[in-house]
Structure 1
Amino acid sequence: MNASFRHDDHAPLRVAMLARVVFPLHGYGGIERHVFHLVTHLTRLGVAVTLFVQEADPQRVAGSDAASQAITQGLARVVYLRYDYTSPALPPNGVVGRQFNYPWYTWHLGRVAAAAVRRNEVDLVHSQGLCATGYGFIRQRDPLLRQVPFVANPHGMEEFRTPDWRKWLAYAPFRSLYAYGHRCADRAIATDACTRHDLPRYLGVDPSRVSVIPSAIDVEECLGFVSPALRSQLRHRFGLAESALTLLSVGRLERNKGFHVMLAALAQLRHELPPTWRWLLVGNGKEESALRDEAATLGLAEQITFVGRLDDAELHSLYEEVDLVVHPTLYEGSSLVTLEGMIHRKPMIASAAGGIPDKVFSGRNGYLVRPGDVEDLAAKLRLALARREQWPAWGEESARIVRTTFDWPVVARKTLNLYRELLV
């Protein structure tokens, strides 16, 4: 490394975090929360993070909640960039809008980050998702920038996993940009050990440049949302006191989440389930009407509750009131929903998709299921019901797995260790 860019071991490590969105300024999704927790936990470890994100609603920036303050008032310096370059009549994150906005955003983001590196304000650059592309392109053409380590995290890579041919075509430009940007990095992060080979396969990343750092949840934050009063309200609202078995699934109501597979499996088990069983389905989405119709056709409508969207306190309080969490997804990234159910000490039945096999272990904390296989899901539900006396032990094992491997303090330290390795 050039002496002018050598990091002073006695000074805070300076990291440029390249992202598009962060919780709570831009929403509540998985990537938004990932960026928030990564930035805040690295800061607690003494890292000086500059966060680059798209412009936010001024009301959210000025918000008084603790999460907004953590981002905007001292835990991270924030640099805002324009994202929407299209007509006001065009949704900025629609299929067409993203084709224009994201490439322009990542290009301008790359230029701003490169300028900060050249001013010797940054010791390491870390990108999230497609934000690797612009900086990677500029870095490949500037030997000075290549002296500063570059880490890239592609996250779940849904653009490479969708079975919908229309989405596959729409995502074609993004797949190309994703692959290029991550090949430019010194290290590309696989969010689960069982998916590390996806980066060479889908992105063409050299296997020697792949590091495994899990996606995580903040255990104390999740458990802190639980409210005895809310638990009582939810029990009454959904009639859970009268339920002999309560199943819970959480996710967008879209075809790829596999909830239609769950309906078919439950139909097979209707005579083996307790008379007062319930399935609570939390989330909104375009498949809701079709799922309701299918539940009615199968004669399951009375046992199934479409809960809609819940806020964090409601959701985490509800986890405490159910018996078994089922995640029948057809394809998946790392699956934060699975971790949420696990930290609430729940036995899990989940598809062997994406990073889930690193979290759910058959016979230890639940069962893995072949994605999209109705017969296998019905069989695993039947097997779990036959071993219900083991559910408390499975739940404790779920929580142990999260606390030792997928809690943010653990994952932030692993990220910092990777930074230090690259800076040697």
Structure 2
Amino acid sequence: MKRPARWFDGLRARMAAALLVALLAQFIGGEIIFERIEAARIERAHARRLAERLVIAGKLAESHADAVTAMNGLWAPSLVVARTPVPPAGMGGAGRADLAAVAEVMVAARPQLAGVPLRLARDGATLRGGVRLADGSWLHFRETDYFSGNSMLLHYTASVLLLVACVVLMALLFGRMLGRPLRRIAEAAERVGGAEAVPIAVEGPREVRQVAAAFERMQARLLNHVREREQSLAAMSHDLRTPLARLRLNLATVEDGETRAALKEDVAEMETFVTSVLDYLRGDEAEHAQRADVASILMTVVDEAHDRGEAVDYHGPDRVELLTRPVKLKRLIRNIVQNATRHAGSARVRLEADAVAVVIFVDDDGPGIPETQMQTVFEPFARIDPARGRHTGGVGLGLTIARRLSERLGGTIALANREEGGLRVTICLPRLDRLT
């Protein structure tokens, strides 16, 4: 389905367009009706005035020889009359509908014209004709601009434009009043998903207030539901540590060395799984945003890797400040670095920053990830090769935790295979005035 143009996709624009169309339809339709009524009224007035003048001209022409000249001096150039002994040529009776209407109005205005031969013709906006006088002569006449009439719409163009501008401005203002609370609800919906409820200002019309209140109730129910599930899973994972610790102590009583080694490996895998689940759940813990030195956090993670005997290097500036959540950022970078050293044996961390964003690159020389599974690896407990996960100690939550942490920091994370081999993880953190 084709989406509407961007400028027409907002509530204010659609309200303004609807009111504008309604206004134009009403104005133009009313103008057309008014113009037809006015044209008919003016035409009747023209016909009555013409009939009166012809009756006067006929009586004066019969009694005074120079009356025609005097009348032309009085009425010209709009009306010109002439007295001749012959009827006007090229004219019949008023057979056309418009001419018949003119003749009907003239006779109704001046009954003296009833039964008198009257011939009419039309040349554009000019009405020509002749009427026979009592002595048998004919009085010819020509009235210019008889059928002309300009649309009143053209005369009121400035008023129409001013009225349209006022309507559009009012529509935009009302649309803003209605759209602002809706926009706030949409912005709040985008921020939902953290550890805390997102406050919503309940304002605007009654229906919008009802939507905001319903949204807050839905948000509270969702958070309660998620917290209950997370607390249950966290409690289970935490309680598993006690029997695991007892199992580790009891392994010392196993005499067979091979069996003892296999059991230790299983216990270690279970402890890794429990730790990963707890790390996954800790990603939603509340943390206040504050300004922190990203470079210092990265160098700290690299130093920790060195202490574990891992080959990790840092390249970048010595100090880059960013409004962020330092604990989550450190956990995110540590997770990515450990994932790289686990699968590739080494990692290189690089930091770049500008006025728009802070970008962190973590490169390794490992086998990379097939292009078809670039998004799959972000799913919980997803593994490219289950057997490989057993050998490296992963449980399939590393990249899932990384994506969740990057989202909590307002950033993005992306994977890409390097041309020279290995995997590149790119974490982009925009410079924001506040974090949701």
User: Which TM-score bucket, shorter chain as reference?
Assistant: under 0.3
TM-score, normalised on structure 2?
A: 0.21
Q: Which has the larger radius of gyration?
A: 2
TM, length-normalised to structure 1? 0.22
Greater share of helix: 2
Higher RCO, 1 vs 2 (CA within 8 Å, ≥6 residues apart): 1
